[in-house]
Amino acid sequence: MNEIIKAVKNLLSEKRIITLAIDGMSAAGKSTLANELSKRFDSNVFHMDDFFLTGELRTPQRLKQVGGNVDYVRFKDEVLEKIKLNEPFSYRAYSCVSGEFSKREVMPKKFNIVEGAYSLHPTLLKFYDYKIMIK
Q: What is the pLDDT of residue 62?
A: 64
Q: Tell me if 111 sits within 8 A of 20, measured CB to CB.
A: yes
User: Alpha helix locations (H) across the chain?
Assistant: 2-14, 30-40, 60-64, 72-75, 81-83
Q: What is the pLDDT of residues 118-128, one digit of tens each?
A: 999 999 999 99
| Predicted confidence (pLDDT) per residue in 1-59, tens digit | 899 999 999 999 999 999 999 999 888 999 999 999 999 999 999 999 999 888 777 76
pLDDT at 64: 75
> Would you say residue 60 has pLDDT above 80?
no
pLDDT at 63: 66
Mean pLDDT of 91-99: 92
pTM for the complete prediction? 0.92
